[in-house]
Amino acid sequence: MAEEELNPGDLDISDEMIAERRGDPSGKMPDDMARWMATTIQGIDKFSLWVGRIVCWLTVPLIGAMVYEVTARYVFVAPTMWAYDISRMLYGALFMLGAGYALSKGVHIRADFIYRNWPDRVQGRIDLTLYVLLYFPGMLVFLWMATDFAALSWIRGEKGMDTAWMPAMAPIKTALPVGIALLIIQGVSETLKSYYAATRGRWP
């Protein structure tokens, strides 16, 4: 018997831990959305997209440092002092600076096996409530703490003590408040989308 042809929309997504990107993938907003809201969402999403495109280039020096270290260590028996520090710093920067972009694409890990079965209006109300009551207060506290954390590192001229290379820690620590700020900016867009879903019964 011939196999039944499946459309992409008919596929059963079994991984309950992967969030799905809602709405029109082209970024076009619904016609009945307020102009200021549509403009704000599109502007923030486009900003996060460009940040993501720029930040992804950090993978190039990250891979380069790892390849150099492996070659130097195992081919020339001359391990470096800096590769470990460079790799963890670049990975940390990549993780933090790309978090806002990841949020815009809905790929942050979330256990939504119950949530995904609710109507869009209910999903919007839940998301809107959580963004207002938990997300923004938490992010603002984290931003304040991370800014103080990075500022002290600059003031003290902090050095890494894990290796003999002892790199300056202030630049990588600065990626923390910058990444949180990017998350807050993208959170504004996600909150507006949640409000639209809560009031219109569908995701933009």
* pTM score of the predicted model: 0.85
pLDDT in tens, 115-154: 888 999 999 999 999 999 999 999 999 999 999 999 999 9
pLDDT at 10: 52
Which of 147, 65, 139, 67 is CA-nearest to residue 103?
A: 139
